[in-house]
């Protein structure tokens, strides 16, 4: 095995790791960042290990930064996966044969390849700002529409589902959008975001009234020009009020 990889294994927790469901919003679609494992056709969520003296939240921030280049974004734990059958839908032997081919004959070492508990973190990122970067295990990145996710390695399909459910639930008591949209955005864009996450259509006029009633948006004098049809106004989140709404968990009746 590569000595650097070995050193990484030695300096990190062995039984615990982190997997991130990184949500981005682009062209009216909610997408998730996936990585393709070297030497295989298998895709997985971005993940990583925790250094011995690192808090798990710090590790999640670090991993997210390594994969997207972004710091200070919305990132939170949503569930911890600790089934003893997390490989159940896979041909584990075949996978590890391929991985040994890519990483060296002693990659599959019992010392490192123990049963893992995985902390699921979800991140909401501004799609345009992400510079997706593969990690040690992987050689390709892909933004995949939430509705067209292929079969993933391990229990990562379940992770995406649980993350999405947590995200939807969160929508009912916290605002969303600050980390998923560019600084300035239009009301229809915000609505599209909500519709995509919730998976249902919303009334244009009622949505606007509701959003404005929460008093977290600032209407700008500018409009989004260039597009076809009537130019919509631009809005911006009032960060202070937005953060307060996040903290106080105001009920968002949507």
- Contact positions vs a copy of itself (CB under 8 A): 13-16, 50, 52-59, 77, 79-80, 82-85, 115, 117, 119, 169, 172-173, 249, 251, 253
CA distance 253 to 182: 24
Q: Residue 148, interface with DNA (CB under 7 A)?
A: no
Would you say 119 and 58 are in contact if contact means Cβ atoms under 8 Å apart? no
Query: In whole angstroms, how close is the CB of 19 to a copy of itself at the nearest point?
Result: 13
Which residues have a Cβ under 8 Å from the Cβ of 212 and sit 6 or more positions away? none
Indicate which of a copy of itself, DNA, none lies near residue 217 (CB less than 5 to 8 Å, by partner kind). Answer: none
How big is the site for DNA, counted in residues (CB under 7 A)? 20
Q: Residue 209, interface with DNA (CB under 7 A)?
A: yes
Would you say 105 and 2 are in contact if contact means Cβ atoms under 8 Å apart? no
Residue 208 phi, psi dihedral angles, 5° rounding = -60, -45
Determine the 3-state secondary structure of 45 from DSSP. coil
Q: Residue 232, interface with DNA (CB under 7 A)?
A: yes
Q: Strand runs (DSSP E) across the chain, as ranges? A: 12-26, 29-37, 43-44, 47-51, 74-81, 117-125, 138-145, 185-186, 217-223, 233-237
Indicate which of DNA, a copy of itself, none lies near residue 111 (CB less than 5 to 8 Å, by partner kind). Answer: none
Question: In the range 189-208, which residues lie near DNA by CB under 7 A?
Answer: 203-206, 208
Among 4, 111, 200, 230, binds DNA (CB under 7 A): 230
Give the pairing type, strands 29-37 and 12-26. Answer: antiparallel
Query: In whole angstroms, how close is the CB of 217 to DNA at the nearest point?
Result: 11
CA distance 99 to 101: 5
CA distance 212 to 88: 47
Indicate which of a copy of itself, DNA, none lies near residue 210 (CB less than 5 to 8 Å, by partner kind). Answer: DNA
Binding mask 53-92 for DNA (x = CB under 7 A): ----------------------------------------
Binding mask 171-190 for DNA (x = CB under 7 A): ---------------xxx--
Q: Give the footprint of DNA on this chain (CB under 7 A).
A: 186-188, 203-206, 208-210, 213, 225, 227-233, 253
């Amino acid at each position: 095995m590569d000595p650097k990889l070995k050193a990484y294994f030695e300096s990190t927790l062995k039984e615990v790791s982190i997997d991130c469901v990184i949500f981005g919003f682009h062209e009216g679609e909610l997408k998730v960042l996936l990585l393709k494992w070297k030497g295989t056709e298998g895709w997985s969520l971005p993940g990583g290990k925790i250094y011995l003296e690192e808090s798990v939240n710090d590790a999640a921030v670090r991993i997210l930064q390594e994969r997207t280049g972004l710091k200070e974004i919305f990132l939170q734990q949503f569930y911890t996966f600790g089934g003893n059958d997390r490989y159940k839908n896979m041909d584990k032997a075949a996978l590890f044969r391929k991985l040994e081919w890519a990483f060296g004959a002693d990659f599959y070492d019992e010392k490192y390849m123990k049963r893992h508990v995985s902390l699921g973190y979800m991140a909401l990122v501004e799609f345009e700002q992400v510079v997706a970067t593969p990690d040690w295990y992987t050689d390709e990145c892909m933004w995949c529409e939430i509705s067209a996710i292929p079969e993933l390695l391990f229990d990562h399909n379940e992770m995406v589902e649980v993350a999405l459910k947590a995200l939807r639930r969160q929508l009912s008591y916290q605002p969303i959008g600050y980390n998923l949209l560019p600084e300035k955005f239009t009301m229809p864009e915000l609505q599209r975001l909500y519709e995509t996450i919730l998976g249902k259509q919303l009334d244009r006029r009622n949505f606007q009234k509701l959003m404005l009633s929460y008093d977290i948006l600032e209407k700008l004098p500018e409009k989004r020009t260039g597009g076809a049809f009537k130019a919509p106004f631009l809005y911006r989140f009032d960060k202070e009020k937005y953060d307060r709404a996040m903290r106080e968990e105001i009920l968002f009746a949507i």
